[in-house]
Amino acid sequence: MLLSETKFEQPCPIRDVLDRIGDQWSLLVIDALDGGTRRFGELTRSVDDISRQMLSKTLKRLEQDGLVKRTVYAEIPPRVDYDLTPLGRSFLVPMRSLVAWADHNHGAIVAARAGYKGGAD
């Protein structure tokens, strides 16, 4: 197998990561977990407008990517805690920078969209 063939089998790291964390909910869930361990119900209340089904799906994807740790306790009723892993915690710094940039520049972006006349492709 040629080196160039293996290169195309692996996804682009930037696109791969940004596609996963750039969805509608992942950043909000990560932000909610920044305060420490949370139970599912706490996360549901912390992330406005997220359905239980979407929160469950988002947590599973973040767990799959190694950003969130899920701990199940054998209690009655069962208790499940969610927390950021060291990898998830390492994402907080660039995430905060991105959020700050978006907050600072949102007005300019909205104005640019409003003034956009379009162009010939």
Residue 94 sits in which domain range? 12-112
CATH of the domain at 34: 1.10.10.10
What band does 7 get if pLDDT is binned at 50, 70 and 90?
low
Q: What pLDDT score does 59 carry?
A: 97
Domain count along the chain = 1
Q: Is residue 39 part of a domain?
A: yes
Task: Kindly state the average pLDDT of the residues 21-25.
Answer: 90
Q: Is residue 37 part of a domain?
A: yes
DSSP string, the chain: --HHHHHHHSPPHHHHHHHHHTSSSHHHHHHHHTTS-EEHHHHHHHSTT--HHHHHHHHHHHHHTTSEEEEEE--SS-EEEEEE-HHHHHTHHHHHHHHHHHHHHHHHHHHHHHH------
Q: What pLDDT score does 121 carry?
A: 59
- Tens of pLDDT along 52-68? 999 999 999 999 999 99
